[in-house]
Amino acid sequence: MLRIERVLCPVDFSVFSARAYDYALSLARHYQGKLFLQHVIEWDLPVYAYYAPDSYLIEQLQQIREDASLQLQEFARRPADYGSPPELIVQEGAPARTILCFTELQKVNLIVMGSHGLHGVDRVALGSVAEKVLRKASCSVLVVRNPVHSFVNPGITGDPIQLRKLLVCTDFSECSKTALEHAISIAAEYRADLSVLHVLEDMPASKDLRSVTQPLLAQLEQAIPAEARGSCTIRPVVRVGKPYLEIIQQAAEAETDAVIMGVRGRNALDLAVFGSTTHRVIQLGPCPVLAVHV
């Protein structure tokens, strides 16, 4: 059973952070978890710091802290009936390291964050902070970029997030099994339709498509727990091709609201900066991606 008891949403007050905050609020509310809203001040000493008195620098930092706290309070405002307000955290340091340290100390189950990364195969970085957090986090990370279609309803009372279609990717590994459990739980919470996708990368030349895909569809059906079918609509899908391209294409064609993928190990994304399927789907896909760390 998926338990999301402590959610962390790091923000830099950008539009990407605002979208991520909507997701963090919604997930924390659905799972009755505690939400932390964090802003990290990246403090760089000015050029004249060596000549300025310590009292001046302390005063400057204190003013920055106060301004950041006020801005975070304003950012956190939501309709009064939306549920418990988040706990506001302002810290100084390197953003990625500070986020990861807070995650460990507070035993966070889920990080929800925006990414400034750009589309395009010539773009290696997702956004340096998001990428570092993805690589090193010990918990699952939901990365929210600029979606192709909008399912966020800002300014309304109640839940601002309307997840109607989810996609979970599987290669039948234990890692994929955990991702499927997460996906079923989220689909049940939001009453969403769930597609379970397997991508066959190498099609045997001697066999026709149906003879290859039918056994895989049967295997997907067997992988879906019987008790899950009563909580949401689940549909198995098999595609043939390059995994990350087929996942992105399926998500786009189905107007998927979020993709759930398993990540093997804490540093899986370190193995290939741009080579991993998960990384490419996060960077190039049309919707937010939940990277489930196992």
Residue 188 sits in the same domain as residue 97? no
83 domain-assigned: yes
- Please give the pLDDT value at position 274: 36
CA pair distance 16, 59, nearest whole angstrom: 31
Residue 129 sits in the same domain as residue 193? no
Residue 173 sits in the same domain as residue 271? yes
- Please give the pLDDT value at position 42: 85
Residue 131 sits in the same domain as residue 190? no
Residue 12 sits in the same domain as residue 107? yes
Q: Are 277 and 244 in contact (CB under 8 A)?
A: yes
Q: Which residue has the tokens 């500070």?
A: 98
Buried b (16+ CB within 10 A) or exposed e, 234-266: bebbbbeeebbebbbbbbeebebbbbbbbbbee
CATH of the domain at 124: 3.40.50.620
Residue 135 sits in the same domain as residue 173? no
Give SS3 for 143: strand
- Please give the pLDDT value at position 117: 55
The pair of three-digit structure tokens given for residue 30, joined into one six-digit string: 């659905």
Distance linking the first and last C-alpha atoms of the chain: 14
- Please give the pLDDT value at position 278: 86
- Asked which of 81, 116, 147 is the last residue of a domain, the reply is 147
List Cβ neighbours of 197 (8 Å cut-off, separation of 6 or more): 167, 168, 169, 170, 237, 238, 239, 246, 247, 250
Residue 115 sits in the same domain as residue 25? yes
- Please give the pLDDT value at position 207: 73
Domain that holds residue 11: 1-147
Residue 235 sits in the same domain as residue 197? yes
CA pair distance 74, 123, nearest whole angstrom: 33
| Domain total in the chain | 2
List Cβ neighbours of 85 (8 Å cut-off, separation of 6 or more): 76, 78
- Please give the pLDDT value at position 270: 46
CA pair distance 153, 226, nearest whole angstrom: 33
Residue 62 sits in the same domain as residue 131? yes
**Sequential pLDDT tens for the chain (294 residues):** 688 999 999 999 988 899 999 999 999 999 999 999 999 998 765 555 556 666 767 787 888 899 999 999 999 986 555 667 899 999 999 999 999 999 999 999 999 999 875 443 333 444 678 888 988 899 999 999 865 455 445 444 567 788 999 999 999 988 899 999 999 999 999 999 999 999 998 877 667 888 889 999 999 999 999 899 888 999 999 999 999 999 999 999 999 999 999 987 555 444 444 347 888 898 889 999 999 987
Residue 96 sits in the same domain as residue 187? no
- Please give the pLDDT value at position 164: 94
CA pair distance 52, 57, nearest whole angstrom: 7
- Asked which of 147, 182, 210 is the last residue of a domain, the reply is 147
- Asked which of 147, 173, 206 is the last residue of a domain, the reply is 147
Q: Are 79 and 157 in contact (CB under 8 A)?
A: yes
28 domain-assigned: yes
The pair of three-digit structure tokens given for residue 238, joined into one six-digit string: 């098999």
Tell me: the pLDDT tens digits for 207-226? 788 888 999 999 999 999 98
